[in-house]
């Protein structure tokens, strides 16, 4: 536990040191980055230790605020989320130091570095807090520090808007959490989570508590329709912040839901099914939204909605299976979901960081202005391609390993469960198969349009390759993705205690439910290795053959079209057009405005396309506008005169006193 | 490992490596015969491969290393998927619960690489083919999952070798209608995944209407040999699955198993040839309907099992 506290202290110290060193930006960046990297390394040790041993670390310190206690505990569930935070924190911070180099002279850099280190510290605190007040305090501090990080480029109106959307969403979500913990704390007579867990929520209806948690934490997790802030905030933030937000901050929402589940009585089937449906809706909606985006980082943000959806669906499967009395299936699904938490943190971290390097080199996030970047930034290109393959759940990467586990869990359910439950599992499996097919479309689109072919703009043509300071940290992440894909057994052994804690099962039983196929030297890794070996052998054969027979270079075959130009390449919009216009539901289709060329000698033509998010256009947009309209009517009361305002205060006070007197009279 | 088992493994690998290029030859021969022509020799693809391997390659100036990833990963994925397919009268070389998801994952990896290789040339037509390929694949994959799910549910087994193994005859006896629906859907998916009529026309000469062929327009020499070989192996994988399903497990020992498998593969290739002779390619907008139809058919089969 002392290592964890040291990590927190180091992060806080680094944060304020960086603020103090604002006048010497180079040193400030070095101090903040050094503190973050060292703290993450320190924090990783106890987290992995807890998972390896299956025990828990506990610490209580005296704390002054009323009703609160500084009670920390790293149990397996917390450690399962701390590991990706610290593991991703190291490469993200190192990349950040490179990414911030052009900003060295900027005002506000010290504050940004301070907010970054504090952000990591508050995230670590959220996972370990064992007291509801402490948890909420850390939660709010996390929201505020990440808001500051998102608004780093606040000169741009778009970024200010993104920051505002994020802040409002966070606070609305937090309101539900306050309600939830007030209810639970009142029942338990204490805000300590141990006390709340001891009474199992008391007289609070489990459905109410679950719903409050689902809304409050679901905002952070990006569950539909509360995902609105994600595609706004992720592209606005600097890339290493997007990586940590997408990899870990979003998972804090999932962690919150799971933590509340462990506090309440074992959830009924309905709760599991609700999670499953929400997850599937998020997965399908998120990936369809990703298909239409022209902004590289926005597309990645939409894919975060998809991945959180996938793992939420797996958690829903786990809870339903447990309620239906098949613990082996529940264990497998929970293990798969937690494994996906790790995998997504690594692969999405890699994707955001390499996208950051691409954006850094081309000065644009617009896919249609990229192209041909592999030839110019080969290292970054290869890493981005690896991230795309992992996110499309392809072997040999880690995304495939966790998705394989989720599919296997659903297959078992579909084969063995009777009646409706079996049919539900089969339908969920079909939906997830569709999601993985669409993910392949989305990521071939990103990688193909951004990296391959001819450059589509002058910026892309003149892009320069960054040095190893940029891609070094990414290489480590890519290797981690590959390692978890080839040897999932080691990670599953570590995660088994966390899944066991969630489902009240012994870790050995959870691990056994995954079957022998995923273990080291099991059949699954052997199949993936055979694939790698075959690919390597064929590649060597091909190279030898080309060396012996020679290679000629020529133009791409233009199908009879003689004046090839980069402008005839298939664009990002056209790549996904067939699916979006013919198969996507009308709600999710992009709005296109086309002015076709007319006449015998065609004149100018126009094509405009805008992606719409039904949650924004149909739900929250009208809702917020209607609310604003109502409140505008109250504006008449606010005249701006001081004496009137004082009168209002007096009247309110008198009314409250009268109310109290009336209530206590009889 | 006993000598017997080693021999059997050797036979399975040999079949997987050597046999696939024969299938397109049978398809072409059937099509020619139906049209009243003599047709190319049965071993035409072997000759083509031998010729391509001896050639040098012409590479586009736009293309980079990813361009070669397509043929290599495509062929490696198909071959690795072949390891998961049950052999003649025996389980697959690699068999474990949930191996069907590894099979689809390997095929998806091959498709991913082929699509990127097509985009690497910067050609408008290849980009178009690539977009169509992934779009249709995203619909074919769920349907394929449901098909395999039906087989799993009917037999109570979780691995391909188990599903298409000794438990299959009993499942046919009990669930014949559902398995028949599933076999039909699987056949449609085999046509779609292997870019055959009615989804894609492998012999068309108009780039605008192609899907799979247009993606590999720029490949030549050893690269193109790998593309053709990978496609043949993929056809073999689907053919072997369907043959096992239709023939109810194809015998017990090696010899009857091998005969059964060969007969089943020949029947499959003949059926593909007959479909290609009797139908035209569907309009592009109809293809999703065909794929979704196959998915609905197999989902219906699943409902029959759950009922």
Residues in chain A within 8 Å Cβ distance of B63: 556
- What distance in Å separates the CA atoms of residue A28 and residue A33, rounded to the nearest whole number? 8
Closest of A125, A135, A1 to residue A59, by C-alpha: A1
Average pLDDT value for residue range B199-203: 84
A394:B112 CB<8 A:
yes
At A383, phi and psi to the nearest 5?
-70, -40
Q: What is the ipTM of this complex?
A: 0.96
Residues in chain A within 8 Å Cβ distance of B53: 545
Q: For A510-546, how does the pLDDT look when each residue is reduced to its tens digit (9 = 90+)? A: 999 988 888 888 899 999 999 999 999 999 999 999 9
Average pLDDT value for residue range A533-562: 89
- What distance in Å separates the CA atoms of residue A437 and residue A431, rounded to the nearest whole number? 10
- What distance in Å separates the CA atoms of residue A493 and residue A512, rounded to the nearest whole number? 10
Q: What is the pLDDT of residue A564?
A: 64
Distance from CA of B217 to the nearest CA of A (A): 7
A23 and chain B: CB distance < 8 Å anywhere? no
Residues in chain A within 8 Å Cβ distance of B100: 411
User: How many contacts (CB atoms, under 8 Å) link A and B?
Assistant: 278
Asked if A617 and A609 count as a contact pair (C-beta separation under 8 A), the reply is: no
A556:B56 CB<8 A:
no
Q: What is the pLDDT of residue A67?
A: 77
Q: What is the pLDDT of residue B24?
A: 94
Average pLDDT value for residue range A143-172: 93
| % of chain A at pLDDT higher than 90 | 80
How far is C-alpha A305 from the chain's CA centre? 7
Q: For B160-198, how does the pLDDT look when each residue is reduced to its tens digit (9 = 90+)? A: 999 988 888 899 999 999 999 999 999 999 999 998 988
| DSSP annotation string for A394-432 | -TTSHHHHHHHHHHHHHHHHHHHS-HHHHHHHHHHHHHH
Average pLDDT value for residue range A367-389: 95
Q: What is the pLDDT of residue A600?
A: 84
Question: What value does the mean pLDDT of chain A take?
Answer: 93
Residues in chain A within 8 Å Cβ distance of B95: 523
Residues in chain B within 8 Å Cβ distance of A583: 135, 139, 288
At A129, phi and psi to the nearest 5?
-65, 135
| % of chain A at pLDDT higher than 70 | 99
pLDDT band for A666, please (50, 70, 90 cuts): low
Q: Cis peptide before B39, with omega less than 30 degrees from 0?
A: no
B60:A515 CB<8 A:
no
- What distance in Å separates the CA atoms of residue A476 and residue A482, rounded to the nearest whole number? 10
A556:B123 CB<8 A:
yes
pLDDT band for B297, please (50, 70, 90 cuts): very high
B220 and chain A: CB distance < 8 Å anywhere? no
Asked if A243 and A304 count as a contact pair (C-beta separation under 8 A), the reply is: no
Distance from CA of A439 to the nearest CA of B (A): 8
Q: For A263-306, how does the pLDDT look when each residue is reduced to its tens digit (9 = 90+)? A: 999 999 999 999 999 999 999 999 999 999 999 999 999 999 99
Residue A609 scores a pLDDT above 90: no
Query: Among A423-432, A576-585, B3-12, which range has the highest average pLDDT?
Result: A423-432
Note which residues in 499-518 of chain A have CB less than 8 A from chain B.
Answer: 515-517
Note which residues in 93-122 of chain B have CB less than 8 A from chain A.
Answer: 94-102, 104-106, 108-109, 111-112, 115-116, 119-122
Residue A188 scores a pLDDT above 60: yes
Distance from CA of B55 to the nearest CA of A (A): 6
Residues 6+ apart with CB under 8 A from A227: A282, A285, A286, A305, A615
Closest of A225, A212, A211, A214 to residue A622, by C-alpha: A225
Q: What is the pLDDT of residue A638?
A: 77
A414:B153 CB<8 A:
yes
B76:A419 CB<8 A:
no
A550 and chain B: CB distance < 8 Å anywhere? yes
Q: What is the pLDDT of residue A639?
A: 74
Residue B37 scores a pLDDT above 90: yes
Q: Of B65, B98, B146, which has the smallest distance from its Cβ to A408's Cβ?
A: B98
Q: For A44-93, how does the pLDDT look when each residue is reduced to its tens digit (9 = 90+)? A: 999 999 999 998 999 988 887 777 889 999 999 999 999 999 999 999 99
A437:B140 CB<8 A:
yes
Q: For A485-498, how does the pLDDT look when each residue is reduced to its tens digit (9 = 90+)? A: 999 999 999 999 99
Residue A562 scores a pLDDT above 80: no
- What distance in Å separates the CA atoms of residue A303 and residue A285, rounded to the nearest whole number? 10
B127:A570 CB<8 A:
yes
pLDDT band for B6, please (50, 70, 90 cuts): confident
Note which residues in 225-284 of chain B have CB less than 8 A from chain A.
Answer: 226, 284
- What distance in Å separates the CA atoms of residue A110 and residue A23, rounded to the nearest whole number? 8
Q: What is the pLDDT of residue A69?
A: 85
A437:B58 CB<8 A:
no
Residues in chain B within 8 Å Cβ distance of A434: 138-139, 141-142
Closest of A300, A394, A308 to residue A349, by C-alpha: A300
- What distance in Å separates the CA atoms of residue B229 and residue B231, rounded to the nearest whole number? 5
A531:B77 CB<8 A:
yes
Task: Identify the burial level of B58 via C-beta atoms within 10 angstroms of its C-beta, where 0-12 means exposed, 13-18 middle and 19 or more buried.
Answer: middle
B60 and chain A: CB distance < 8 Å anywhere? yes
pLDDT band for B133, please (50, 70, 90 cuts): very high
B215 and chain A: CB distance < 8 Å anywhere? no
Average pLDDT value for residue range B101-125: 94
| % of chain B at pLDDT higher than 90 | 72
Residue B19 scores a pLDDT above 80: yes
Residues in chain A within 8 Å Cβ distance of B98: 404, 407-408, 411, 515, 517, 524
Asked if A309 and A279 count as a contact pair (C-beta separation under 8 A), the reply is: yes
B149:A414 CB<8 A:
yes
Distance from CA of A514 to the nearest CA of B (A): 10
Residue A39 scores a pLDDT above 80: yes
Q: What is the pLDDT of residue A526?
A: 94
Task: Identify the burial level of A526 via C-beta atoms within 10 angstroms of its C-beta, where 0-12 means exposed, 13-18 middle and 19 or more buried.
Answer: middle
b/e string for B248-273 if b means 16 or more Cβ within 10 A? bbbbeebeebbebbbebbbbbbebbb
Residue B239 scores a pLDDT above 60: yes
Residues in chain A within 8 Å Cβ distance of B182: none
Residues in chain B within 8 Å Cβ distance of A415: 149, 152-153, 156, 158
Mutating which of B67, B70, B111, B116 best tests the A interface, going by the most A Cβ atoms within 10 A?
B116
pLDDT band for A601, please (50, 70, 90 cuts): confident
pLDDT band for A313, please (50, 70, 90 cuts): very high
Helices (H), A520-590: 523-549, 572-582
Average pLDDT value for residue range A444-449: 96
Q: Of A404, A407, A556, which has the smallest distance from its Cβ to B60's Cβ?
A: A556
Residue B251 scores a pLDDT above 60: no
Distance from CA of A530 to the nearest CA of B (A): 7
B299:A426 CB<8 A:
yes
Closest of B160, B135, B194, B138 to residue A575, by C-alpha: B135
Q: End-to-end distance of chain A based on CA atoms, in angstroms?
A: 54
pLDDT band for A95, please (50, 70, 90 cuts): very high
- What distance in Å separates the CA atoms of residue A348 and residue A96, rounded to the nearest whole number? 16
Distance from CA of A508 to the nearest CA of B (A): 20
Nearest chain A residue to B145 by CA distance is A430
Query: Domain limits of chain B?
Result: 3-306
A66/A255: higher pLDDT: A255
A569:B57 CB<8 A:
no
Q: What is the pLDDT of residue B250?
A: 53
A426:B146 CB<8 A:
yes
Nearest chain A residue to B109 by CA distance is A394
Residues in chain A within 8 Å Cβ distance of B112: 389, 392, 394, 440, 443-444
């Amino acid at each position: 536990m002392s290592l964890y506290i040291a990590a927190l202290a180091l992060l806080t110290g680094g944060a304020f040191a960086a603020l103090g060193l604002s006048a010497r930006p180079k040193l400030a960046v070095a101090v903040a980055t050094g503190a973050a990297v060292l703290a993450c390394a320190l924090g990783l040790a106890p987290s992995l230790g807890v998972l390896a041993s299956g025990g828990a670390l506990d610490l209580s310190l005296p704390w002054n605020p009323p009703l609160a206690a500084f009670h920390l505990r790293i149990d397996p569930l917390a450690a399962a989320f701390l590991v990706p935070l610290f593991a991703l924190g190291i490469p993200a911070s190192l990349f950040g130091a490179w990414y911030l180099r052009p900003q060295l002279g900027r005002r506000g850099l010290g504050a940004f570095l301070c907010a970054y280190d504090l952000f990591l510290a508050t995230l670590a605190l959220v996972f370990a807090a064992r007291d509801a007040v402490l948890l909420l305090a850390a939660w709010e501090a996390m929201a505020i520090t990440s808001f500051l990080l998102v608004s780093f480029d606040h000169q741009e109106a778009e970024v200010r808007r993104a920051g505002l959307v994020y802040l409002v969403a966070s606070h609305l979500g937090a309101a539900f959490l306050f309600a939830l913990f007030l209810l639970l704390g009142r029942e338990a007579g204490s805000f300590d989570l141990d006390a709340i867990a001891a009474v199992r929520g008391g007289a609070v209806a489990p459905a109410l508590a679950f719903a409050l948690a689902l809304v409050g934490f679901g905002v952070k997790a990006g569950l539909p329709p509360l995902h609105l802030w994600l595609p706004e905030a992720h592209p606005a933030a600097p890339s290493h912040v997007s990586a940590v937000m997408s990899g870990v901050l979003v998972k804090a929402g999932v962690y919150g839901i799971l933590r509340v589940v462990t506090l309440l009585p074992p959830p009924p089937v309905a709760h599991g099914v609700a999670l499953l449906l929400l997850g599937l809706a998020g997965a399908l909606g998120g990936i369809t939204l990703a298909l239409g985006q022209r902004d590289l980082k926005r597309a990645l943000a939409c894919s975060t909605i998809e991945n959180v959806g996938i793992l939420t669906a797996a958690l829903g499967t786990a809870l339903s299976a447990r309620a239906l009395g098949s613990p082996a299936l529940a264990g497998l699904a929970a293990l798969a979901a937690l494994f996906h938490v790790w995998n997504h943190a690594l692969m999405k971290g890699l994707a955001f960081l390499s996208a950051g390097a691409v954006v850094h080199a081309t000065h644009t996030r617009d896919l249609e202005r990229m192209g041909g970047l592999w030839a110019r930034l080969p290292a970054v290109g290869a890493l981005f391609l690896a991230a795309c393959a992992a996110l499309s759940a392809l072997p040999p990467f880690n995304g495939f390993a966790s998705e394989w586990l989720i599919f296997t869990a659903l297959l078992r359910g579909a084969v063995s469960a009777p009646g409706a439950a079996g049919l539900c599992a089969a339908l969920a499996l079909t939906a997830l198969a569709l999601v993985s097919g669409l993910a392949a479309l989305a990521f071939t689109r990103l990688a193909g349009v951004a990296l391959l072919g001819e450059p589509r703009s002058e910026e892309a043509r003149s892009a320069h390759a960054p040095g190893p300071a940029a891609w070094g940290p990414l290489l480590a992440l890519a290797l981690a993705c590959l390692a978890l894909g080839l040897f999932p057994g080691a990670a599953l052994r570590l995660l088994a205690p966390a899944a066991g804690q969630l489902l009240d099962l012994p870790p050995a039983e959870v691990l056994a439910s995954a079957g022998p196929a995923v273990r080291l030297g099991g059949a699954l890794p052997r199949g993936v290795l055979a694939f790698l070996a075959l690919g390597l052998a064929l590649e060597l054969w091909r190279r030898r053959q080309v060396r012996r027979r020679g290679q000629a270079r020529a133009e791409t075959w233009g199908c009879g079209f003689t004046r090839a130009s980069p402008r005839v390449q298939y664009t990002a919009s056209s790549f996904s057009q067939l699916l979006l216009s013919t198969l996507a539901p009308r709600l999710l289709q992009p709005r296109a405005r086309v002015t076709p060329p007319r006449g015998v000698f065609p004149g100018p033509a126009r094509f405009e396309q805008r992606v719409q998010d039904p949650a924004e256009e149909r739900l929250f947009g009208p809702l917020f506008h209607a609310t604003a309209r109502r409140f505008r009517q109250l504006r008449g009361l606010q005249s701006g005169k001081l004496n009137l305002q004082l009168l209002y205060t007096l009247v309110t006070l008198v009314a409250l006193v009268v109310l109290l007197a009336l209530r206590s009279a009889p | 490992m006993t000598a017997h088992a080693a021999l059997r493994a050797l036979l399975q690998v040999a079949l997987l490596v050597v046999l696939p290029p024969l299938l397109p030859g049978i398809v072409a021969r059937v099509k020619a015969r139906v049209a009243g022509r003599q047709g190319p020799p049965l071993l035409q693809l072997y000759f083509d491969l031998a010729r391509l391997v001896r050639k040098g390659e012409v590479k586009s100036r736009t293309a980079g290393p990813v361009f070669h990833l397509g043929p290599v990963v495509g062929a490696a994925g198909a071959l690795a998927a072949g390891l998961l397919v049950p052999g003649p009268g025996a389980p697959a070389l690699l068999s474990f619960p949930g191996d069907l998801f590894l099979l689809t994952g390997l095929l998806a990896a091959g498709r991913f690489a082929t699509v990127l290789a097509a985009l690497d040339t910067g050609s408008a037509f290849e980009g178009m083919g690539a977009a169509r390929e992934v779009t249709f694949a995203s619909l074919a994959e769920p349907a394929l999952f449901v098909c395999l799910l039906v087989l799993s549910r009917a037999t109570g087994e979780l691995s391909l070798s188990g599903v298409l193994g000794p438990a299959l005859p009993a499942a046919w006896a009990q669930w014949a209608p559902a398995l028949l629906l599933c076999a039909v859907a699987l056949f449609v998916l085999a046509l779609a995944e292997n870019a055959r009529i009615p989804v894609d026309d492998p012999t068309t000469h108009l780039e605008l209407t192609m899907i799979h062929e247009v993606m590999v327009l720029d490949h030549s020499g050893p690269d193109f040999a790998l593309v053709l070989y990978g496609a043949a192996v993929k056809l073999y994988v689907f053919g072997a699955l369907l043959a096992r399903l239709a023939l109810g497990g194809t015998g017990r020992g090696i010899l009857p198993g091998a005969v059964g498998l060969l007969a089943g593969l020949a029947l499959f290739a003949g059926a593909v040839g007959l479909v290609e002779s009797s139908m035209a390619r569907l309009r592009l907008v109809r293809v999703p309907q065909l794929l979704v139809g196959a998915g609905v058919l197999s989902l219906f089969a699943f409902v029959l099992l759950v009922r």
